[in-house]
Amino acid sequence: MATFWKYLGSPRNLMVFDAAAKHRSFTKAAEALNMHQPAVSSAIKNLEEALGVILFVRGHRSVELTTAGNRLYTDVSKALGDVEESVMAVRQMGQDDHVTLNSSTAFSHYWMMPRVVKLHEKHPDIDLRLQNSDREPNLDMENISLGIRLGDGKWPDCHSAKLADEVIMPVANPRVFTAAKNLKSIPNLMNERLIHLEEPIRERPTWSHWFAHHGIKDRVFVSGMRLNDYALVLQAAISGEGFAFGWEHIVRDMVRSGTLLAKHEWGWRTGNGIFLVWSKNKPLVKQAVQVRDWIISVSDYPDAPHFT
């Protein structure tokens, strides 16, 4: 990095170069940067001396990039554009004019997206940002309005409202169900192709846990498709790759539509729940309150809290 700055002299020189190359004029670059024209000329000269090449062919009313100048401008314009985009995105994170909902990809895709039209019908002015991650971020540090978490509802830094009990049951494409040899008893499911979720960060139950709950213990499953994202697991199940874990709150709409079939009677109530969470350390803005209350209202959970 020290060598890098040795060749540039100052990061401002790159911005001046970018503006001069874009406008093909030192004068117009000075106007765009709110600088004096001699300062632009000096910055370009310093950059050329540091690099040991001529970047512009000077004309009476305009300038043209040399081969070296074109090479530098191609990368500099892209890099500065990326930096500007990142700066604006980070700045936006600190504003209160939007609502960010953090959740898994599966929750966003299969729970929120089918319902988000109704949210905008009720609150057309809300700017909702769906943020997906494979971890549970700190809401305060990352300026996240609301989050979806699986657990017991007790997080020291968050308020929580239960949206659903955690219920897990086998689901599959109707074709797979029809082809299954014998699903009258749970042990027979072990003869079918199973789709495994192997999340890299968050702890989630596995088929071994599910079978153990039903009294079938110490079984190791070595075959079957293994995926690290639940949205992919469900897509594989829809495509007919085998039986998948069906978190009831996620697959409910697909089961109702017949896209997937489920063995409801084999459902495992783990004792955990799916919760909407928000920070205890700062109050929610009006729009976030509206989104929170709307999500709770459409969750259909009978014991969900109501806020006034």
Of 237, 251, 243, nearest to 194 (Cα)? 243
Query: What residue segments make up the domains of the chain, in order of their start?
Result: 2-93, 97-308
What does the pLDDT look like over 130-179, one tens digit per residue? 999 878 888 888 889 999 999 999 999 999 999 999 999 999 999 999 89
How much is the average pLDDT of 76-90?
78
- Whether the per-residue pLDDT at 304 is higher than 70: the answer is no
Helix/strand/coil (H, E, C) string of the chain? CHHHHHHHCCHHHHHHHHHHHHHCCHHHHHHHHCCCHHHHHHHHHHHHHHHCCCCEEECCCCEEECHHHHHHHHHHHHHHHHHHHHHHHHHHHCCCCCEEEEECHHHHHHHHCCCHHHHHHHCCCCCEEEEECCCCCCCCCCCCCEEEEEECCCCCCEEEEEEEEEEEEEEECHHHHHHCCCCCCHHHHHHCCECEECCCCCCCCCHHHHHHHCCCCCCCCCCCCEECCHHHHHHHHHCCCCEEEEEHHHHHHHHHHCCCEECHHHCEEEEEEEEEEEECCCCCCHHHHHHHHHHHHHCCCCCCCCCC
pTM of the full structure:
0.68
What does the pLDDT look like over 15-63, one tens digit per residue? 999 999 999 999 999 999 999 999 999 999 999 988 899 999 998 788 9
**Residue 112 exposed, middle or buried by CB count within 10 Å (0-12, 13-18, 19+):** middle
Query: Tokens for 8?
Result: 């540039």
CB 127 within 8 A of CB 155: no
Position 5 confidence tier, pLDDT thresholds 50, 70, 90: low
Q: Which CATH architecture has domain 97-308?
A: 3-Layer(aba) Sandwich (3.40)
pLDDT score of 93: 53
Mean pLDDT score of the chain: 89
Position 98 confidence tier, pLDDT thresholds 50, 70, 90: confident
CB 109 within 8 A of CB 231: yes
Domain 2-93 adopts which CATH fold? Arc Repressor Mutant, subunit A (1.10.10)
Could you identify the residue written with the tokens 């027979």? 188
**Single-letter code of the amino acid located at 107:** F
What does the pLDDT look like over 211-245, one tens digit per residue? 999 999 877 776 789 998 999 999 999 999 999 99
| Same fold across 2-93 and 97-308 | no
pLDDT score of 74: 92
How much is the average pLDDT of 104-115?
93
pLDDT score of 214: 93
- Whether the per-residue pLDDT at 278 is higher than 90: the answer is yes
Cα-to-chain-centroid distance, residue 191 = 36
Poorest-pLDDT segment among 26-35, 77-86, 99-108: 77-86
Poorest-pLDDT segment among 46-55, 92-101, 200-209, 271-280: 92-101
